[in-house]
Every structure is written in C-alpha cells, then in structure tokens.
Structure 1
Amino acid sequence: MSTATSEEDLTEDERRGLELVRETGGIHQSDFWKEMDVSSRKGSRIIESLVEKEMVQREETVYQGHNTYYITPAARDLDFSLLMAGDMLSPFIGEEEIDPESDAFSQWMMNLAYEE
C-alpha cells in the first residue's frame, strides 16, 4: 500500500531517523536504534513507519551473526546529477562496454566541458 507523504508530515523521531539514514547512506537496524538512542522496539517502529511512507528501503541481511535489516534511503533520494552532462546520461551506465574513442563518449565529455 503506497502512502507516500512529505517530510513535513513526519514526527520528530521519524525526521531524525530519516536524517540518520541519509547521512550514513545506509545503516543496519541494530545500529540505527543505538545511534538514535531509543529502544530496539521504538527504533523498529520508526523504521516501519518510514518504510510505509516510502522514505527508506529495508532489506533483510545478517550482521554480526544476527538476522537484521539494512536500511537505505529511498531510491527517490538518490542524486544522479554526477552522471549527467547537460541532459545526457553517462555512456558508462549500462551493460555494454564503452569505447573511450566512441562518438557517444566524446559527445558526453564535450557536454560536460560546456557545463563549467
């Protein structure tokens, strides 16, 4: 069920939790509640709420021998600007190998140079 909300609708704890996940780029749930200085139960509730609000993503993992979750920022928070040159996406994104002498790479580099 999608219940996407804006950050203004978050509680203070949710806002702090989201900021922690963004600052770290990803954190294990067991470290999350310790960093937040809340109980594991409260930490789990904060994460659950952020997942439901599509602010973070949660993936099962094993950390220090225990089953836990790894929490990362939602994909919509990712910054692709470093892969762009003008309106062109880097030719190195994708499955195929790129010839550095190809027209696609040359055009991308020229667009990158013109941005400065």
Structure 2
Amino acid sequence: MSATAAETELSEDELAGLELVRETGGIHQSEFWKELDVSSRKGSRIVESLDEKGLVDREEAVYQGHNTYFIAPVARDLDFSLLMAGDMLSPFIGEEEIDPQSDAFSQWIMNLAYEE
C-alpha cells in the first residue's frame, strides 16, 4: 500500500502511533499512549495530529469506567485489486494457516498469469 501525502510528513512518533492503530484495528486512547510508551499528554497530541490529518477517527467512549476516546484507522482508497486474480479473491484472505502448495493457491496464481 502506498503512503499518502499526509503519511510522508509524519514524525517517528506519529508513524508508530498510526501503525499501532492499524495493527490493532482500533484502540482506546487510554491504552494507546501506554502501548507507545509515551506520556498521556504526548499520546493525546499524537492522536490529535493523526485525527487532524484524516488518518484516524477519534470517537468519545467509556473504557473501564473512564471517559476516553476510541481511535480507529481510516479506511480510504483501499486497493483490493492486489488481492484479486481475475474474479478470484486470494485464498489466503481469512485463512490462519497458509499452504502455498494448495490447489486454491495454484489456481489463483495461474489466474494472475492469464491477466497479462
């Protein structure tokens, strides 16, 4: 996936924060700064910056009895064509164990070759 213009201008801390949000699929702000090993103040600034740049969504939430925010990744301009071979979706989507020797994978690869 190519980086957006906003992503290329991020600080190291902001990149780490964005990666954390994307990897977790969403995280409460009260856990966000702890996972990044930064102060709550710095964590808040990172989230505010990512939110202002449109890279995350921040919604008010209650977590463990405290008011906080839920930080979720923004899904935009996702290019699922990289997972497709003709009209076949990659057999690895949703699979826990990947078997590159499987017939499904072989058929998918063959469809990639026929697209060109």
Measured in 1, the distance between the counterparts of 2:79 and 2:24 equals 15
In structure 2, runs of 5+ residues without a counterpart are 88-110
Aligned position for 1:39: 39
Q: Percent identity?
A: 75
Aligned position for 2:60: 60
- Report the Cα offset of residue 7 of structure 1: 1.2
Q: Name the CA shift for 1:59/1:77 in 2 (closer, same or farther; >3 Å).
A: farther
Moved over 4 A (4+): 77-81, 84-87
In structure 1, runs of 5+ residues without a counterpart are 88-114
Amino acid at match of 2:63: Y
* Pairs aligned (count): 89
Q: Name the CA shift for 1:86/1:10 in 2 (closer, same or farther; >3 Å).
A: same
* Per-residue CA distance 1:55-77 (angstroms, 9 max, x = gap): 00000010000000000001316
* Per-residue CA distance 1:8-46 (angstroms, 9 max, x = gap): 110000000000000000000000000000000000000
Measured in 1, the distance between the counterparts of 2:78 and 2:25 equals 10
Over the aligned positions, Cα root-mean-square deviation in angstroms equals 2.8
Aligned position for 2:93: none
1:78-89 equivalence runs, <5 A? none
Amino acid at match of 1:34: K
Secondary structure at 1:38's aligned position in 2?
coil
8 A Cα contact 1:51 1:58, kept in partner: yes
8 A Cα contact 1:29 1:68, kept in partner: yes
